[in-house]
Structure 1
Amino acid sequence: MGYTNLSYLNPRTVILVGIPGLEHVQFWIGFPFFVVCLVALLGNLFLLIIVPRERSLHQPMYIFLAVLAATDLGLCLAIAPKMLAIFWFGSCSMAFDTCLTQLFFIHALQGMESGILLAMAFDRYVAICDPLRHPSILTPLFLLRVILMVAVRATVLVGILPVLLKRLQRFHSIVIVHSYCEHMAVVKLAAEDVTINKSYGLFVAFAILGFDMIFVFISYFLIFQAVLHLPQKEARSKAFNTCTAHIVVFLEFYILAFFSFFSHRFGHVSPYIHILLSTIYLLLPPALNPIVYGVKTKEIRKWVVHIFVLKSNTQ
């Protein structure tokens, strides 16, 4: 690593500080985050075991839920090990290339999660607004194509972010004020023009999160419109009930996502508040999603009870 006029040339390592201003309590902050990650890992593993084994869950909504669970697992594994190593063991250094790899996986998995939430909204729209055509529209081949499109879109769009960062050569610091490698946190270290990086980062955010959020809103506007025109109160209640879990998951993801996104670029939020909220935004939905769907889905509750009863009987 070289430096000229207090700038670093082609740094090989970076330093993650964790949560600035709260370094003295980071050790204790690690424990609630560890619990959240543990709940997320166990909950999403349960979903990945239950959905393939329960034939009544072999429906588009739950296939998308299984993909969402795999995405959430990936997010936890991309963030938690290094973050907890910083909090508990002071292991703050990271190879620059490893940092860019972590950045890619975090943002790509975010993009995939957003795309799956849009696919789930489309599934609910067809199921409620055009139920007779639901089996013919959401065929296994269609589901596979949607999942591949979501994965390819996120991989291609996000894959350019680390490439643009790699072309930067001079940095005024190698200290990342964050608990994980986040795109804008790394961009702010650069000691040269980063207009392209910032502009492309905005484009990716709106091309994925913005696009998906708009169409999810449109889907639910049409769903609510259709439901309110149902003649029977019981039918309206049943239709709303099928959407409740997805609405909760959708709101928790997008509200936290856009708060984190805009506060990082345009807000004047204290760094430790922003970093805490952005970390919660990435780790809390993976923990809550299995709980929300578990509470709302009888088959999932039955399998969870079966697994725990079977385990207790064998002990």
Structure 2
Amino acid sequence: LMDITWLTNHTGGSDFILLGLFSQSKHPTLLCVVIFVIFLTALIGNAILILLIHSNAHLHTPMYFFISQLSVMDVTYISATVPKMLMDQVTGVKKISVPECGIQMFLYSTLVGSEFFLLAAMACDRYMAICHPLRYPVLMNYRICLFLATGCWFLGSVDGFILTPITMTFLFCRSREIHHFFCEVPAVMKLSCSDTSLIETLMYLCCVLMLLIPVIVISSSYTFILLTIHRMNSAEGRKKAFTTCSSHMTVVILFYGAAIYTYMIPSSYHTPEKDMVVSFFYTILTPVLNPLIYSLRNKDKVGFLKKKLKVKWTL
């Protein structure tokens, strides 16, 4: 990511201290157990989903390909933040080194940015499936899907490569206490004694583009989808289309709503407590909710899972 020795010297060399969620809780042990259970649930739910999609030939379609990518992203970014937070609570050591902080920030920025674009790609996939069903196999073949997924990961990494080096090369001469449970860009910037107005403007513009482009794609896709659904004569077809689209839109609203608050609302409206609650929601809860809202409720996957379990139980 960057030269670790230079980075450590430039930022002062001392570790950061993550105050985290537990310092705000009256029952930190209970909260730790709850977060651990949520973390395991997210890992298991997304892992099952990925295995189901890859082991069932009927699920080798563009929609499920993108869902598996979403699960990979969810597992990766919850793993980049939660284990460190839980380990700190158990050991009582809340320090994080400068290089570790930079790596965590880069991974998180990359994955969140990638998910923005992946949700837009999923909206395009639904548009093609509903508005152009006859040409859908050609328009959304495996190579196109792979290209779109790769593009999402690449654009997300651009976000990480822009924000992380600039943020981590500021001089931190104030308190080293980060009022957060992981190294998020806005939380770390508050510790700098340098002028951060330029990076704040850059972050705002970057996030506007990262959010605006996918939002335009999603809005346009669903405008055409709604028009197509309105012209459908089949009630069953309308119901199926609405079911698929409602799941996707639920995930979009949850994820984008929290991201808009974090990165686009002026800092005067933020408090450390509010920021942690919002980050907790889309960092820890969203990876648990995505398989339930978007995927495991689908009859194809639920039926296949039941069949698998039944066979293993019989054996």
TM > 0.5 fold call:
yes
Give distance in 1, aligned partners of 2:265 and 2:88. Answer: 24
Match of 2:283 in 1: 282
Equivalent position SS for 1:132: coil
CA contact (8 A) 1:29 1:87 kept: no
Q: Which amino acid aligns with 2:275?
A: H
Q: Which amino acid aligns with 2:119?
A: L
Match of 2:144 in 1: 142
- C-alpha displacement of 1:305: 2.2
When residues 25 and 263 of structure 1 are mapped into structure 2, their CA distance, relative to the original with a 3 A threshold, is farther
Equivalent position SS for 1:15: strand
- 1:172-217 deviation line (CA, Å, top 9, x unaligned): 1211010111001011100011122212211221221232123212
Map 1:1-315; keep pairs closer than 5 Å: 10-19=12-21, 22-262=24-264, 265-268=267-270, 270-310=271-311, 312=313
CA contact (8 A) 1:172 1:190 kept: yes
When residues 46 and 17 of structure 1 are mapped into structure 2, their CA distance, relative to the original with a 3 A threshold, is same
CA contact (8 A) 2:73 2:115 kept: yes
Equivalent position SS for 1:282: helix
CA contact (8 A) 1:108 1:155 kept: yes
Aligned-residue sequence identity (percent) comes to 29
How big is the alpha-carbon RMSD for the aligned residues of Structure 1 and Structure 2? 2.1
**How many residue pairs are counted as aligned between the two chains?**
306
Q: Which moved more, 1:133-142 or 1:200-209?
A: 200-209
- 1:59-115 deviation line (CA, Å, top 9, x unaligned): 100000111111111011101111112333322101011101101101111111111
- 1:101-143 deviation line (CA, Å, top 9, x unaligned): 1011011111111111111100001111111111111111111
Gap runs ≥5 in structure 1: 1-7
> TM-score, normalization: structure 2?
0.90
> TM-score, normalization: structure 1?
0.90
Gap runs ≥5 in structure 2: 1-9
When residues 295 and 152 of structure 1 are mapped into structure 2, their CA distance, relative to the original with a 3 A threshold, is closer
CA contact (8 A) 2:203 2:263 kept: no
When residues 235 and 303 of structure 1 are mapped into structure 2, their CA distance, relative to the original with a 3 A threshold, is closer
CA contact (8 A) 1:12 1:97 kept: no
